[in-house]
Amino acid sequence: MSTAMNFGTKSFQPRPPDKGSFPLDHFGECKSFKEKFMKCLRDKNFENALCRNESKEYLMCRMQRQLMAPEPLEKLGFRDLMDEKPEAKDKY
Partner 1 sequence: MGGFWCQGRRSVALCGRCWSQARWWGRTVKDAEQVLRPGWSGLGGAERGLRRLGTWKRLSGARGPAAQPPRRPGSSNPFQRAQEDEWRRRNKTVLTYVAAAAVGMLGASYAAVPLYRLYCQTTGLGGSAVAGHSSDQIENMVPVKDRIIKVTFNADVHASLQWNFRPQQTEIYVVPGETALAFYKAKNPTDKPVIGISTYNVVPFEAGQYFNKIQCFCFEEQRLNPQEEVDMPVFFYIDPEFAEDPRMVNVDLITLSYTFFEAKEGHKLPVPGYN
Q: Which residues bind partner 1 (CB under 8 A)?
A: 1-2, 7-22, 24-26, 28, 30-31, 34, 37-38, 41, 45-49, 52, 55, 58-59, 68, 71, 74-79
Q: Report the residue number, 52 or 92, with the smaller CB distance to partner 1.
A: 52
Minimum Å distance from CB 45 to partner 1? Answer: 8
Minimum Å distance from CB 91 to partner 1? Answer: 26
Q: Report the residue number, 65 or 79, with the smaller CB distance to partner 1.
A: 79
The beta-carbon contacts of 46-52 under 8 Å, at least 24 apart in sequence, are 52/78, 52/81
The DSSP secondary-structure symbol of 12 reads -
Q: Is 55 exposed, middle or buried (0-12, 13-18, 19+ CB in 10 A)?
A: buried
Q: Report the residue number, 80 or 87, with the smaller CB distance to partner 1.
A: 80
In sequence order, which residues have a C-beta less than 8 Å from that of residue 60 and are 6 or more positions away?
73
